Structure 1
Amino acid sequence: MDRIDTMRVFARVVERRSFIRAAEDLALPASTVTDAVKALEARLKVRLLHRTTRQVRATLDGEAYYRRCLTILEEIEEAENAFSDTRPRGMLRVDVQGAQARRLIIPALPRFFAEYPDITLSLSETDRFIDLVGEGVDCALRTGTPKDSDLIARRIALLPETTIASPDYLDRFGTPERWDGLDGHRMVGFHSSATGGVLPLEFMVRDTRRTVMLPSLLTVNGADTYKEAAIQGLGLIQVPRYAVARELAAGTLVECLPDTPPAASPVHVLYPRNRQLSPRVRVFIDWVAKQYAGHA
């Protein structure tokens, strides 16, 4: 293994905090990865990694060497890409919230693979904060305003939201006419992992955000369950319009208070700040931005 390949191996071990996971990412035997790092430490005459039974982490010298490796590897990749007309290739790891994956990404993937046949995609579904580098994820799509972090956040869309209820609910409780006239109505509560509490209903009134908390018989924390509860007539809910487009078209859900909708939800692509985007990540971000633009 030459020095450049050894740098790639070492950088992956630092990022994944595991020899085994780094070996899986690089399609190498675990023994090859371990031997490469040992040989590197012997050549440099410095300890680069702290090893425990649970985790591997860089020493201070290892962290400094890792950052130098990133700079060198990025310059090599940039130089090779400048003089190569090869198509983006390799494994791409993306994390996205489940409803968006099913409604916005999966239906369009045949076109993506037709355009980039040498890319393979590993798509995970979560809505929690993830350590992109530590978990080996290239980029993540998240709804809402990102918290301050070491990640770059590129906004790719503003997704319209809507207030909806089932015809059965509206027959029993009446169709609301004003956002501030919801006495006697109820909502399905949605428990937010971000705030730790139940979200109120939100309305944009002449560019001002207003909130209303209604009684609820049911509180949930899953998007599909939230929508199904509304279909069963258990209360008003607020969701992105794309998530209920079929139900609105079929009449199983009805839009309410269209003149004072909730604020549109921003969607961001998050990726590590300390590294240059690989060609496969760059083309995916550009592609997914176009997909979301069609629903914005």
Structure 2
Amino acid sequence: MDSFAINVFVHVADTRSFVGAGRAVGVSASGIGKSITRLEQTLGVRLFHRSTRSVTLTAEGEMFLERARRIREEFDAAQAELSQTTRVPTGRLRIGLPMISEPFLLTLAAFQKRYPEVELDLDFDNRHVDVIDEGYDAVIRSGSIDDSRLTSRTLGTFQMWLVGAPEYFARRGTPRHPSELLEHDCIQFRMPNTGRLQTWQLRREADEPALNLSRRIICNTNEARRCFALEGVGIAYMSDHTVQDALETGALVRVLDQYTFEQNTFRLLWPSGKHMTPKLRAFIDFVSEHVPLRREDRY
């Protein structure tokens, strides 16, 4: 027995009509009849006398009506009470993120301070998780979206740069053309979801061959390749937001800017059609507003 069945019963009792009750709750007369039949089967009694001209309560129906009204009133009161409490975001949110600290950690810390009643369960993983089947409330991912079951919001864009430490370039020289990278030590990144090395997308002429770059170091986290670049081990191909602070202090410098062009987008994804709880709504709005990414492509 559910609240809908109780509500239908009370409407039929008040209107003495399946058609009238259907108009009140937005269901066909046949749907109302089926709901009443299921309720009678659950209770084990007949609630209405039915004829082609009228619908009247049985003695058992009269007895049940008083309690049904109280049940409906209690349910309405409980629903109103809960709606008041759910206006304040509370509860657990399971969020999937890529394995990078910036630009998200400071934003997540600020969210936690703003909404202390929300419990953040953060899963850092570069693989493309199944948001719905694995029970995530939302995930942050870069690249294209190929799952029609998900709703998305663009957080911002980022660009890939070639960077290295000043001491490295003082020791090895600064490349002026991508072909000169063949003479340099390169810090390569292995994509955790495919196992392949990330491609350094650099402008080249149509007849220029792809570069077979050195593999001085191969790693699969942004923190590792950033550390190696800072220590002067070699040149790294990294997203702007992961090295911005180091560039501002001069710990890293950019090279071959005229040859780098790759851009990508971070998006926040969550299950389409899922009831938007206050905690999820607060998270989506807060992260969209505060994450420090370029926002010209947001919608």
Tell me, yes or no, if the aligned pair for 1:97 and 1:127 is still in contact at 8 Å. yes
- State the distance in 1 between where 2:167 and 2:84 align: 61
Kindly tell me: are residues 211 and 291 of structure 1, through their superposed partners in 2, closer, same or farther at Cα, counting changes over 3 Å?
farther
Residues 78-111 of structure 1, C-alpha deviations (whole Å, 9 max, x = no match)? x979x75822222211111232xx3333323454
Aligned to 2:260: 261
Match of residue 97 from structure 1: 98
Letter in 2 for 1:202: Q
Q: Is the 8 A contact 2:182 2:214 kept in 1?
A: no
Please say which structure displays the higher CA radius of gyration.
Answer: 2
Question: 1:294 Cα deviation (Å)?
Answer: 4.4
Match of 2:88 in 1: 87
Please state how far the C-alpha of 1:140 moved relative to its aligned partner. 0.6
Q: What is the letter of the counterpart of residue 237 of structure 1?
A: A
> 1:141 and 2:140 equivalent?
yes
How far does residue 115 in structure 1 lie from its aligned partner after superposition?
3.6
Counterpart CA distance in 1 for 2:199 and 2:293 is: 28
Q: What secondary structure, in the 3-state scheme, does the structure 1 residue paired with 2:183 have?
A: coil
Q: Count the aligned residue pairs.
A: 220
Unaligned runs of 5+ in 1: 5-41, 44-75
- How far does residue 134 in structure 1 lie from its aligned partner after superposition? 3.4
Aligned residues of 1:151 and 1:271 also touching (Cα < 8 A): yes
DSSP 3-state at the match of 1:103: coil
Equivalent position of 1:69 in the other structure:
none
- In the other structure, the counterpart of 1:251 is 250
The offset of 1:164, in angstroms, is 0.1
The two structures, once aligned, show a CA RMSD in angstroms of 3.5
Q: Are the equivalent residues in 1 in contact too, given 2:103–2:292 (CA < 8 A)? A: no
Query: Which whole-Å CA distance do the structure 2 matches of 1:201 and 1:192 have between them?
Result: 12
Quick check: 1:200–1:213 contact (8 Å CA) kept in 2?
no
Cα 1:219–1:111, aligned 2, differ >3 Å: closer, same or farther? Answer: closer
Aligned mates of 1:129, 1:3 — CA distance in 2: 40
CA contact (8 A) 1:204 1:263 kept: no
Q: Against the structure 1 CA distance between its residues 258 and 111, is the aligned structure 2 distance closer, same or farther, given a 3 Å change threshold?
A: same
Between the aligned partners of 1:212 and 1:285, the Cα distance in structure 2 is 41
Q: Distance in 2 between matches of 1:242 and 1:288?
A: 16
**TM-score calculated relative to the size of structure 1:** 0.62
Q: Which amino acid aligns with 1:91?
A: R
Paired with 2:180 and 2:189, the residues of 1 have a C-alpha distance of 21
Pairwise CA distance, 1:157: 1.0
Instruction: Sort the Cα spacing of 1:289 and 1:261 in 2 relative to 1 into closer, same or farther, 3 A.
Output: farther
Distance (whole Å) between structure 2 residues aligned to residue 144 and residue 103 of structure 1: 17
Residues 1:158 and 2:157 are matched in the alignment: yes
Alpha carbons 2:158, 2:265 under 8 Å: kept: yes
Shift of 1:2: 7.2
Q: How far apart, in 1, do the equivalents of 2:271 and 2:171 lie?
A: 50
Distance 1:235 1:168, change over 3 A: same
The yes-or-no answer on 1:184 pairing with 2:183 is: yes
Query: Counterpart of 1:36?
Result: none
Gaps of 5+ in 2: 5-41, 44-75
In the TM superposition, residue 3 of structure 1 has moved relative to its aligned partner by 7.2
Q: Deviations over 1:179-234 (max 9, x none)?
A: 3543422311211134431122123689xxx9644122221112211122222333
Change (3 A) 1:279 1:213: farther
Partner of 1:173: 172
Tell me how far 1:287 sits from its aligned partner: 1.3
Report how far residue 114 of structure 1 moved.
Answer: 4.5
1:131–1:183 distance in 2 versus 1, CA, 3 Å: closer
Alpha carbons of structure 1 residues 174 and 160: separation in structure 2 relative to 1, 3 Å: same
Return the alpha-carbon distance in structure 1 between the equivalents of residues 132 and 281 of structure 2.
Answer: 17
Q: Secondary structure at the match of 2:202?
A: strand
CA contact (8 A) 1:153 1:269 kept: yes
1:106 partner letter? L
In structure 2, C-alpha distance between the alignment counterparts of 1:111 and 1:232, rounded to whole Å: 31
How far apart are the structure 2 equivalents of 1:157 and 1:91?
26
Instruction: Output the CA distance in 2 between the equivalents of 1:129 and 1:80.
Output: 39
Find the aligned partners of 1:211 and 1:156 in 2 and give their Cα distance. Answer: 32
SS in 2 for 1:98: coil
2:27 is aligned to: none
Aligned 1:1-296 pairs, distance under 5 A: 84=84, 86-99=87-100, 102-148=101-147, 150-203=149-202, 212-295=211-294
Q: Secondary structure at the match of 1:230?
A: helix
